[in-house]
Amino acid sequence: MGEMKSAWEKAQEKVAKLGKLTEDEIKQLECVPVGNKLAAKYLQDPNYNLDAELTKYKGTGLRKYIAQGAQEIFMHNLILPQNDRDQQITKRAMAGLRIVKENKNQLATILDRITNLLNYYEQARHQTYTQFKKDFEARLQESSQALQKQPGKAVPIESQLQAQFQSEWLNISSQLNAQYEKVLEEHKQHILKIA
C-alpha cells in the first residue's frame, strides 16, 4: 500500500506541477480582487468616485488588472431586472463599465442595445403578467362555477390557488427570461471583447 498524503502535500504537488507564475500573473492575482472590491463599493455607494480611485493606479501597470476585476463584478450585475433594486444595480453596473473600459464608443453602442433590450424585457414582462393574470382569473372563475354546481365538492382554498398561481407564473416567467437572457449574454460577450 502507498503512503497517504495530506491535503497540504497534494496541494504542494499541484503547485509544483504548475510551475512558477510570471510577474504579470502575480500582479493579476493580487489586483483583480482589488478591482472586485472597488466595483462592489461603487455599486453600493452612489457617492463613490470609482474614476478617481482608478486614477491612483494610472501609470503603475496595475490599472488594467484592477479594471479587469471591476469589470468582472459589473458584468455579473448586468442582469434582467426583476424589481426596482435590480434595475438600479444594472444601471449602476453599466455606468461602472463606462468608467473602466477604454473604448467608450464601442461600449456605448453595446450598452445602448442592452438598455433597449431591458426596456423591451420590462414591457414584455408586464404584458405577459397582465395577460397571464387575466387568463388565470378567467379559468378560476370557470372552475369555481363548475364546482359550485356539483354538490359535495369543496372549492379550493385561497392558499392553494395562490400557490398554483405562483407556480404557473414562475414557469411562464422562466421561459420569458430565457429568451432575453440569451440576447443579454451575447451582448455581454461583445463587451468582454472590447478593450
Give me Rg for the CA atoms of the chain: 25
Count: domains in the chain: 2
**Domain check: are 87 and 107 in the same one?**
no
**Domain check: are 88 and 64 in the same one?**
yes
* Domain boundary residue, one of 82, 100, 118: 100
**Domain check: are 92 and 153 in the same one?**
no
**Domain check: are 108 and 96 in the same one?**
no
- Residue range of the domain that includes 163: 103-195
What is the DSSP annotation of 33-84?
Answer: HHHHHHHHHHHH-TT--HHHHHHTTTTTT-HHHHHHHHHHHHHHT----SSH
φ/ψ bin of 154: left (φ > 0), alpha (ψ from -120 to 50), beta (otherwise): beta
d(CA 142, CA 95): 49
CA 77 distance to own-chain centroid: 4
**Domain check: are 64 and 139 in the same one?**
no
**Domain check: are 33 and 45 in the same one?**
yes
Which runs of E-coded beta strand occur in the chain?
none
pLDDT in tens, the chain (195 residues): 445 667 677 667 766 666 678 888 888 989 999 999 999 999 999 999 999 999 999 889 999 999 999 999 999 999 999 999 999 999 999 999 999 999 999 999 999 999 999 999 999 999 999 999 999 988 888 877 766 666 655 555 566 778 889 999 999 999 999 999 999 999 999 999 998
* pTM > 0.75: yes
* Residue 2 belongs to a domain: no
